[in-house]
Amino acid sequence: MLKRKRRFNIELTGNVMSATHDDTNGFSARAMDAFGTSSPEFASHIMGRLSVCLRAHQGDGPSTQASQQEINAALAFVDGYEPANEVEAMAAATLYAANDMALVMLARAKQATDIANLEVAASVALRLLRATTAQMEALAKLKRGGEQTVRVEHVHVHAGGQAIVGNVTGGGGAGNSIGQSHEPGRSPEGVTPLLGVDPAGDVVSVAGHAERALSDSRRA
């Protein structure tokens, strides 16, 4: 069985979050590590915000406090992401809160007894799911340090072709074949040479039967 690091968790007494053991200094250090910060104030503040976001509403009545299990689930998610700094911790906490609300709205849509409530709940859930997708992409970009990696899985080189490995840039150099016509007599077998650009720069058709020199590519 894969051994995993125990996630950061708390004990909830009333509305007070505290350590599950007697080592209060160790608890504070563990909380800061879970939120990628050296500030105990930041860790405590985000924990409180997550607790508020997870509160549930029963109809028009007052919201109920999030349970110890709900709070610990959110803390486990943030800790599992292993944020490197406060920005990543905020993004992870926001992602969890948005996804949790999306799941709540999906449940309401499924339990709806009329079309109006179904459409409202489903619409909100869809917007929240889109937000979580964008947030996951932002988190992945943060982990990469803002860099984008492009990987080529397969390269197919057909007969007569040439594979190029590395950067390909334009500029009209000798190695740039983009936009150039085939030289006379060097066209691949069975391929009609492309028309070249008139050296004189005359790209307008000439009326009548006036004689003018043909470009090298046309002469071929």
Q: Does residue 43 fall inside a structural domain? A: yes
Greatest extent of the chain over all pairs of C-alpha atoms, in Å = 102
Is residue 57 within a helix (H) or strand (E), and if so which, with residue range? strand 56-57
| Residue-wise pLDDT tens digits, 30-66 | 999 999 999 999 999 999 999 999 987 555 556 678 8
Range of the domain at 109: 11-143
> What pLDDT does 154 receive?
60
Q: Is residue 106 part of a domain?
A: yes
- 75 within some domain: yes
Q: How many domains does the chain have?
A: 1
Give 132-135 contacts, CB < 8 A, sequence gap 24+. 132/95, 132/98, 132/99, 132/102, 135/91, 135/94, 135/95, 135/98
Tell me if 195 is assigned to some domain: no
Residue 173 located in a structural domain: no
Cβ–Cβ under 8 Å, residues 86 and 35: yes
In this prediction the pTM is 0.62
* Lookup: tokens for 59: 């109809």
Residue at 57 is within a domain? yes
Answer yes or no: is 148 within a domain: no
